[in-house]
Structure 1
Amino acid sequence: MHGLEGEVKKRWQPQIRAKAKKKAVTTGGIVVSTRARFGFTAAAGTTDDARIRDITQALPPEFADQLFTARDQGAGEDQLRQIAADGLAQMYFRANNSRAHGLGVEFTDVERLDIEL
């Protein structure tokens, strides 16, 4: 039975992952949970010193789509981290771009990064 179980699981998992991915990029988005160093730049050259923060934030489907598309196209860690940083900047630090307009976010020294679909 172990052989059959392995074959079923091998075929089942890709289907589950594909459905979860489709939901994430169309309606559900993703949740990013991270512990990393965040620093900021704002208008007129002002800055805020970087510090370690623990952040858990839902990101809308367009960021899930960007991450999956970039990964599928062979993007490196730096490019994927930048997409996550852009999403966190927009949704967490700028409250979906409703405040802190022009605030740039630096996302470095990642200690932990988890993504949930």
Structure 2
Amino acid sequence: MVTVGEGLDKAVQAAFTRPVPKSAGARMRYLVRQLKGTRQVAQLLRVSQRTVERYVKDQIRKPRRDLAERLEREVHKRWQPQIRAQAKQTAATTGGIVIDTRARFGYTAAPGTTDDPRLRHLTVALPPQHAARLFEAQESGVGEQELRDIAAEALGEVYFRDSGRRAHGLEVEFSDLEHVEFEL
């Protein structure tokens, strides 16, 4: 399942200036430094404190699949927070964001117009105010459906209504999301 939240995270990760640690030991040491202790890392990853200590000392090198996924997710979430914040700030103030999506778009429009949903592939540059709304909503912890609604509203404004120059009153519905990518 493709999500808007994951797409936004990947776009921000493209701004990283250094590679994320690759080995389990390096990732575990990074988390121990960030969270200031093995106990906190153990609670975060739902493993024992002794297991964390073994990874830190490279006594264990290959984690189980579920632990490897949690470890990767937590490291990516915390990696280069200043670079991440700077990239979001740039997109929200000057740069905007590009959305590339393949989804079904339906419309609520005036009588006599076609409002049948159609599968479309769109690549649209969204202005900074839309990028700011997406990032603010993501940081406030809203659900995936609300992020999709914000993206649909932004696509409706920029692509379908052409920033208010046509199709006044057209409401865009964004469903059956097959693909979504963002680029800063």
Shorter-normalised TM-score: what interval?
0.7 to 0.9
* Bigger RCO (CA 8 Å, 6+ sep): 1
Aligned residue for 2:70?
Answer: none
Answering whether residue 154 of structure 2 is matched by residue 113 of structure 1, we say no
TM-score of the aligned structures, taking structure 2 as reference length? 0.56
User: 2: distance between equivalents of 1:116 and 1:17?
Assistant: 13
Answering whether residue 119 of structure 2 is matched by residue 77 of structure 1, we say no
TM-score of the aligned structures, taking structure 1 as reference length? 0.85
Match of 1:26 among 93, 97, 113: 93
The RMSD of aligned alpha carbons is 2.2
Asked if 2 retains the 8 angstrom alpha-carbon contact of 1:39 and 1:107, the reply is yes
Aligned residue for 2:153?
Answer: 86
User: 1: distance between equivalents of 2:145 and 2:79?
Assistant: 31
Unaligned runs of 5+ in 2: 1-20, 34-75
Query: Hey, which bits of structure 1, 4+ residues long, moved more than 6 A?
Result: none
Unaligned runs of 5+ in 1: none
Match of 1:40 among 103, 107, 121: 107
Match of 1:15 among 73, 77, 82: 82
Q: How does 1:39-78 map to 2 (within 5 A)?
A: 39-44=106-111, 46-78=113-145
Structure with the bigger percentage of strand: 1
Answering whether residue 156 of structure 2 is matched by residue 95 of structure 1, we say no
